[in-house]
Amino acid sequence: MAMNAVNKKVVASIMGATGSGKSKLSVSLAARIGGEIINSDKIQVYRGLDVLGNKIPEVEMLGVPHHLRGHVGNPDEEYTAPNFCFQATSVIEQMINSGKVPIVVGGSNSFIEALVEDLVCFISLDVSPNVLNTFVSKRVDQMVNQGLVEQVRGIFAPDKDYTKGIRRAIGVPEMDKYLRAEANKDMSDADEKKALLETAIAEIKTNTIGLIRHQVGKIRQLRDELAWPIQRIDPTTVFQIEGDKQAQEAAWMKMVFNPKPA
């Protein structure tokens, strides 16, 4: 089913690099305008790895329905852009027919590009690179504290292909050497174990920052070369506020959710 089979004027897309606040903005927007969210993150379509995949917790969804999220149960299944396009188009049509506003959200720009070429409304969250890099590095540490290693250990298999399915997620291949040594009992002391884990975490941070550069570059290409009408929002100031949740929320509402026209 082609995208032009549905009314594109009522479909929104929220784009941006990993960690830029897409989920938070999409939920707030959907709650306000009667929307529902279609996940376009190629890792979040899989069931599992909730911490590593940075899936928004249910308590933060504000009751907003999320579609195409965690619906692929086989971790080895290759979920492609055409798969996403076919399923997302069907969901979008159902939403529009029921009077809901579809909001497509995720960092996998190839999915969005496969779905549509001329949506009327695109929003891009564009955080200053240095600020975002620092934020996502800290977020990786938080993921480790929340069980990242345990989740990856749960799907570890030495003969699996890290280029397919859920195992291509950043955070899985980087843990391979550590988990192989652990499984083979090759780590003779705590210092060696700590060193291997620290190396894996450092690689996760480096590769995540590399992904951010790729995502930002792709969005700029869509804007500059393909002339997509992308509306840029800069939430950098929000990310620079640390330790004060109330101030963060106030800044978010003022600068991101209800920004004043320039």
* Mean pLDDT along residues 114-143: 88
Using alpha carbons only, how large is the chain's radius of gyration in Å?
19
Are residues 119 and 82 both part of a single domain? yes
Whose tokens are 């652990």? That residue is 182
Whose tokens are 């399915």? That residue is 165
Q: Structure tokens of 122?
A: 């695109």
pLDDT band at residue 186 under the 50/70/90 scheme: low
13, 97, 106 from 109: Cα distances, Å: 10, 26, 7
Predicted pLDDT at 119 = 63
Are residues 169 and 64 both part of a single domain? no
pLDDT band at residue 113 under the 50/70/90 scheme: confident
Are residues 100 and 117 both part of a single domain? yes
Q: Tell me how many domains the chain contains.
A: 2
Residue 124 near residue 232, CB atoms below 8 Å: yes
Q: Is 218 part of any domain?
A: no
Task: Please state the φ and ψ torsions of residue 227, each to the nearest 5 degrees.
Answer: 60, 35
Average pLDDT value over all residues in the chain:
89
Q: Structure tokens of 1?
A: 């089913």
Whose tokens are 């941006």? That residue is 16
* Mean pLDDT along residues 33-43: 93
Are residues 123 and 166 both part of a single domain? no
pLDDT at residue 107 greater than cutoff 90: no
DSSP class of residue 174? G
Give 192-217 pLDDT, tens digit per residue. 888 999 999 999 999 999 999 999 99
Are residues 109 and 76 both part of a single domain? yes
pLDDT at residue 88 greater than cutoff 60: yes
Residue (of 203, 200, 165, 160) closest to 179 by Cα position: 200
Question: Please, which residues have CB within 8 angstroms of residue 58's CB and are 6 or more apart in sequence?
Answer: none
Predicted pLDDT at 83 = 92
Are residues 115 and 140 both part of a single domain? no
Domain range for 188 is 135-205
Residue 45 near residue 39, CB atoms below 8 Å: yes
Give 142-171 pLDDT, tens digit per residue. 999 999 999 999 999 888 899 999 999 999
Predicted TM-score of the model (pTM): 0.86
Are residues 98 and 167 both part of a single domain? no
Angstrom distance (rounded) from CA 162 to CA 164: 6
Query: Taking the CA of residue 248 as centre, how many other CA atoms within 13 Å lie in the half-sphere pointing to its CB?
Result: 9
Are residues 99 and 195 both part of a single domain? no
Helices (H) then strands (E): counts for the chain: 9, 6
**Reduced DSSP (H G I as helix, E B as strand, rest coil) percent helix, strand, coil of the chain, to 5:** 50, 10, 35
Angstrom distance (rounded) from CA 195 to CA 247: 37
Are residues 182 and 248 both part of a single domain? no
CA geometry: angle 108, 110, 112, nearest 5 deg:
80
Under the phi-then-psi rule, with left for phi > 0, alpha for psi from -120 to 50, and beta for the rest, what region is 47? beta
Are residues 101 and 193 both part of a single domain? no
